[in-house]
């Protein structure tokens, strides 16, 4: 039996939550996790109105420019992936008449989008099924189940996500009992990150250096987050956008298809919603370095202080804020600073999608593999992983030939799932992306029209 819609914010309100009444914001930040009022805090801002971020300490980066990291762990459900889940479901409600109880919600994912799907579905009164690989960190399955989501597991790990895509299409896409939040192919994911993450990236950088954004760095899973780069380029035309991949699964770089340990990225595909026109460089990052980097941040502060690399007070604010993909992004930002020769006036923005809470089991596995690190090993990691990040594994993708190579990979995959050549070709023109982005005011109007006035 269809139920009334539980409404939430518009794109504009997620980009700038000060558009919401203070009472709505306050209630959202103080509600129990399972309370639908949490929908109103799907944005990058903390309760005090500040954008949640940190500057990665120069003692660890070794570069002069500011590396500003947007922190995703304080989004409801613990990662910013909840944003694309929310907007995809909200667009289905306001544009296509979906109502709670009509259909079950499907979230194809490697974890965080699935967690977000289960969480949003719970708040908005839908049943959810998350389609994901069966070998991800245990913390992910626990969260999905805590939010009442069911699991449909496909074999493998992060880099077997293509199997989840196949399962999603074969079982759910054309079955009218389901609504699929297809993060790899639906444009709400693009809209959310271009408008909300991109807008927040521009605002967060304004007080630093020259106030501009010289580069945006992000390791794509769905490539939603990378869309923030489009918004940054719309304001600063010379900005550079860098996509990162695991060295062990270098799909965009050279078609590599290996297994890797950086959960959430490196999904062995060119996703449909990836605007290839705006990706300037692809860089490779070693997966073990990201796992060790997380361990170093969480437990190596005393060792870094003892060796005179960084004092404990410098490392403390980083703790809890990084998983492997966040560390991957920081290493990529350091490489980007070196590649572009950036100085103290320049800003690079990147993201930490989630926090450490999802990865204690990954740290246990690291210790089981390599033994517990001592001070000497921690210091060596700081030198090699962060300070020693070099320019190996860097590919310039600005040429027409590179765009065509990546576009043919996109076409080879997505025509299999029923997308036409004409639609795919359209994605090679900026107009396609601008037209998708330009839908936001109309969607926002439809969201406002369906909800009670806010007070």
Ligand X SMILES: Cc1ncc(COP(=O)(O)O)c(C=O)c1O
Residues binding ligand X (CB under 6 A): 81, 110-113, 219-225, 263-265, 323, 325, 353-354
The HSE-up count of residue 189 (CA atoms within 13 Å, CB side) is 25
Q: Which is nearer to ligand X, 40 or 190 (CB)?
A: 190
CB 210 within 8 A of CB 344: no
> What residues have CB less than 8 Å from 134, skipping those under 6 apart?
153, 154, 155, 156
CB of 354 to ligand X, least distance (A): 5
CB closer to ligand X out of 7 and 109: 109
Packing angle, helices 360-370 and 138-146, rounded to 10: 160
Q: Which is nearer to ligand X, 111 or 300 (CB)?
A: 111
Residue with Cβ nearer ligand X (73 or 233): 73
266 touches 251 (CB < 8 A): yes
Cβ distance to ligand X smaller for residue 300 or 355: 355
Residues 352, 443, 87, CA angle at the centre, nearest 5°?
30
Task: Give the pairing type, strands 240-246 and 281-285.
Answer: parallel
User: Shortest Cβ distance from residue 241 to ligand X (Å)?
Assistant: 13
Q: In angstroms, give the least distance from the CB of 125 to ligand X.
A: 24
Question: In angstroms, rounded to a whole number, what is the distance separating the alpha carbons of residues 267 and 377?
Answer: 31
For 245, phi and psi rounded to 5 degrees? -135, 155
108/384 Cα distance (integer angstroms): 36
Q: Which is nearer to ligand X, 182 or 309 (CB)?
A: 182
What stretches of 351-399 show up as alpha helix (H) in DSSP? 360-370, 375-381
102 touches 195 (CB < 8 A): no
CB 218 within 8 A of CB 193: no
By CB neighbour count within 10 A (0-12 exposed, 13-18 middle, 19+ buried), where does 207 fall? exposed
Rounded to the nearest whole angstrom, what is the least distance from the CB of residue 109 to ligand X in the complex? 7
Q: Quote the least distance from Cβ 263 to ligand X, whole Å.
A: 6
Yes or no: say if 110 and 264 are a contact pair by the CB < 8 Å rule.
yes
Give the nearer residue to ligand X in terms of CB position, either 209 or 264.
264
Q: Toward ligand X, which CB reaches closer, 61 or 325?
A: 325
Closest CB to ligand X among residues 113, 147: 113
Half-sphere exposure of 342 (CA within 13 A, CB side): 30
For residue 307, the minimal CB distance to ligand X (Å) is 30
| Residue 193 near residue 226 (C-beta atoms within 8 A) | yes
Residues 6 or more apart whose CB falls under 8 angstroms from that of 43 comprise 9, 13, 14, 15, 17, 75, 83, 196, 200
Compute the least distance from the CB of residue 450 to ligand X, in Å. Answer: 27
For ligand X, the closer of residues 278 and 353 by Cβ is 353
Q: Which is nearer to ligand X, 201 or 219 (CB)?
A: 219
**H or E element at residue 91:** helix 82-96
In angstroms, the CA 385 to CA 379 distance is 10
CA distance 42 to 40: 6
CB of 103 to ligand X, least distance (A): 23
Residue number with the shortest CB distance to ligand X? 264
Q: Which of 209, 228, 212 minimizes the C-alpha distance to 351?
A: 228
């Amino acid at each position: 039996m269809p139920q009334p819609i539980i409404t939430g914010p518009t794109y504009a309100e997620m980009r700038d939550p000060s558009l919401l009444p203070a009472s709505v914001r306050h209630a959202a930040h103080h509600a129990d996790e399972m309370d639908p009022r949490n929908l109103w805090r799907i944005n990058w801002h903390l309760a005090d109105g500040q954008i949640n971020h940190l500057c990665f300490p120069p003692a660890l980066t070794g570069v002069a420019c500011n590396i500003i990291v947007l922190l995703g762990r304080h989004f409801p459900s613990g990662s910013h992936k909840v944003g694309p889940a929310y907007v995809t479901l909200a667009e289905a409600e306001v544009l296509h008449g979906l109502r709670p109880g009509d259909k079950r919600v499907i979230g194809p994912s490697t974890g965080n989008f699935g967690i977000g799907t289960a969480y949003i579905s719970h708040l908005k009164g839908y049943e959810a099924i998350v389609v994901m690989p069966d070998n991800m960190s245990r913390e992910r399955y626990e969260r999905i189940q805590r939010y009442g989501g069911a699991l449909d597991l496909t074999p493998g790990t992060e880099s077997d996500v293509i199997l989840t895509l196949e399962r999603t299409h074969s079982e759910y896409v054309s079955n009218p009992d389901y609504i699929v939040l297809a993060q790899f192919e639906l444009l709400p994911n693009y809209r959310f990150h271009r408008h909300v993450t991109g807008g927040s990236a521009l605002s967060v950088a304004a007080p630093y250096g020259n106030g501009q954004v010289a580069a945006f760095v992000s390791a794509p899973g769905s490539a939603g987050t990378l869309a923030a780069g489009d918004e940054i380029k719309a304001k600063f035309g010379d900005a550079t956008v860098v996509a990162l991949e695991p060295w062990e699964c270098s799909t965009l770089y050279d078609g590599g298809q290996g297994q890797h340990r950086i959960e959430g990225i490196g999904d062995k595909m060119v996703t449909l919603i990836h605007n290839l026109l705006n990706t300037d460089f692809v860089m490779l990052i070693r997966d073990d370095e990201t796992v060790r980097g997380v361990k170093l941040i969480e437990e190596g502060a005393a060792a870094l202080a003892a060796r005179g690399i960084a004092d404990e007070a410098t490392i403390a604010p980083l703790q809890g804020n990084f998983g492997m993909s966040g560390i991957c992004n920081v290493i990529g930002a350091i490489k980007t600073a070196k590649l572009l020769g950036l100085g103290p006036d320049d800003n690079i923005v990147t993201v930490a999608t989630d926090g450490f809470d999802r990865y204690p089991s990954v740290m246990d596995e690291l210790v089981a593999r390599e033994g517990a690190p001592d001070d000497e090993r921690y210091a060596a990691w700081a030198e090699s992983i962060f300070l020693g990040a070099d320019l190996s594994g860097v590919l310039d993708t600005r040429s027409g030939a590179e765009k065509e190579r990546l576009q043919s990979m996109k076409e080879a995959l997505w025509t299999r799932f029923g997308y036409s050549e004409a639609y795919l070709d359209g994605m090679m023109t900026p107009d396609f992306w601008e037209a998708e982005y330009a839908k936001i005011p109309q969607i926002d109007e439809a969201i406002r029209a369906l909800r009670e006035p806010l007070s």
